[in-house]
Chain A
Amino acid sequence: MAEQRWETPQPLGLVAVRQEVLTAIAARAMAGVEGVRPLRGGGGIIGILAGSDEGVQISIRGNVADVELRIAVVLGYSVHRVAQAVQRRVREDLEGLVGIAVGRVDVYVRHVIPPEEVLMLEERGEDAEG
């Protein structure tokens, strides 16, 4: 059974990190990779900035986090390379910024988006934000 928190007993007491923390850091790592769009209900960049992380699922088993990511790749980018970059970045950031060991990082490429559509989404995102 997966846990909601990553718990590590320290000499001075328990340190617990909630799953949301891992999810937010993974989502941010993924969003930093060129050519990728995380998938979520709302669409566009709005979701990223609002901290919506539907495309990211993390299961914590003891001291290991397994990650599942659902992404869209922008047309023209190598799907394989983008997916690998996402795997690497997410692993690095979870290990580096949170300190948890990362097991699997499974990436599901569910869509490709034409570049025009990305531009549209980004414009809409800025409007909604301002």
Chain B
Amino acid sequence: MPRDEELIGDNPEEGKISISRDVIATIAGLAATDVAGVAPPKGGTMPRGEAVRRLVEVEIAEGRVKLALKVGVLYGHAVQAVAQELQTRVKTEVEKMTALPVDEVDVEVVRVVFPEEGRRKERIA
């Protein structure tokens, strides 16, 4: 059975601290939406708040984290550079906030988003 929680602190005097997989996904997702050039992987607008965790798959094994992200990239941004910037930002942020080591951040760029896509959607809405 997959573990949904990871213990990050266990002090017999003070108690346990555990962190859920969703929290890690949200932290990673928020870091990801901060990177310039990142666009929603499906149509519509970029998810905000806790919904950003849908961008991220989290695997935890023996206190180590592996992340996989699916994103779109805005047309005009260098795809490979955006993907690598994502890896760095997401790893840094998750490690900083959870103190769990992140071994891997896989990024899949699933589409490119052209500027007129947003405009067309607005007109319909």
Contact = CB atoms under 8 A, between A and B. Distances in A.
Contacts of A98: 78-80
B79 A97 contact: yes
Contacts of A99: 78-81
A21 B112 contact: yes
Q: State the majority secondary structure of interface residues on A.
A: mixed
Interface string A24-40: 11001000000000000
Contacts of A41: none
Contact of B75 (A12, A25, A96): A25
B111 A12 contact: no
Contacts of B80: 8, 15, 17, 98-100
Q: State the majority secondary structure of interface residues on B.
A: mixed
Contact of A16 (B104, B109, B114, B123): B109
Max chain A Cβ within 10 angstroms of own Cβ: one of B73, B83, B105: B83
A65 to B, nearest CB: 12
Contacts of B105: 12-13
B16 interface: no
What is the interface residue range for chain A against chain B? 20 to 34
B110 A21 contact: yes
What is the interface residue range for chain B against chain A? 20 to 34
B76 interface: yes
Contact of B91 (A5, A12, A21, A96): A12
Given A8-B80, A13-B105, A97-B78, A18 B88 contact: no
B79 A17 contact: yes
Nearest to B91: A12
Contacts of B33: none
Interface string B67-82: 1000001011111110
B120 A18 contact: no
Given A10-B87, A99-B79, A20 B116 contact: no
A-B pairs with lowest CB-CB distance, top 3: A99-B80, A12-B87, A13-B104
Interface of B: 66-67, 73, 75-81, 83-84, 87-88, 91, 104-112, 114, 116, 120, 123
